[in-house]
Structure 1
């Protein structure tokens, strides 16, 4: 398995895994998500997002070129506030591993690669968000040394 950077122009390679991840969220939180968005729209959205200066996609690729999993993270410069110091944060936005490759270290390898790249770029904080139903993500983040620090609640009309 190789960890590669996926450029914006190849964003469509991530769409099947994004659809799988999205379906999980639709199942558990249907009021928050649009069911079955089209692959063309997802590819365009990913391409636009990954074109951002500080947004990166990493993927685990098999020797045959098949993607086993991916993650998307962003480097964020957060200025100092009266209540906290300035920081460079690596924010992990998405992580998905194809079902056949789950629990085999793919997610861990992706997060380790992200951490190394982020620290090399000057990050002082590695952060992630995950839904309360996503116990696999929660376990991965805990295994990587991340602990919850905030809880977000919302109300929807």
Structure 2
């Protein structure tokens, strides 16, 4: 089992690298590009950039919780309250990211309208939908794990 969790930990780490690179190198350029495209809305450049950085921070928090969950599995503590808490935190992170993108959809619409690039709206919708899928999946796993912990504790008390 440690081999599989090691693979998943590496995947989590590899998921973080492109987002970190995007935050450092690409996001400031995107915000400047938005300000140049629509000079009347250039005051939204920094709120847009801050929102994207907040989204990245929440994403890294979710990856951290995923890493913790994999560590609990390595330590044979998968059926513990710590795992349930990690899943709950992952669920909340996905909800926050989805809500942030719902709030920023009007800005994405303005960017797409000015640049005539409807793909930007599609990317925003995919992120919202993906986060909602992660939210539902984490909620189902959380309930399943909680019921398994309850059954385990009942069996421990019976014996």
Q: Please give the TM-score of this superposition, normalised by the length of structure 1.
A: 0.30
- Greater percentage in helix: 2
Larger Rg: 2
Relative contact order, higher structure (CA 8 A, sep 6+): 2
Q: Please give the TM-score of this superposition, normalised by the length of structure 2.
A: 0.30
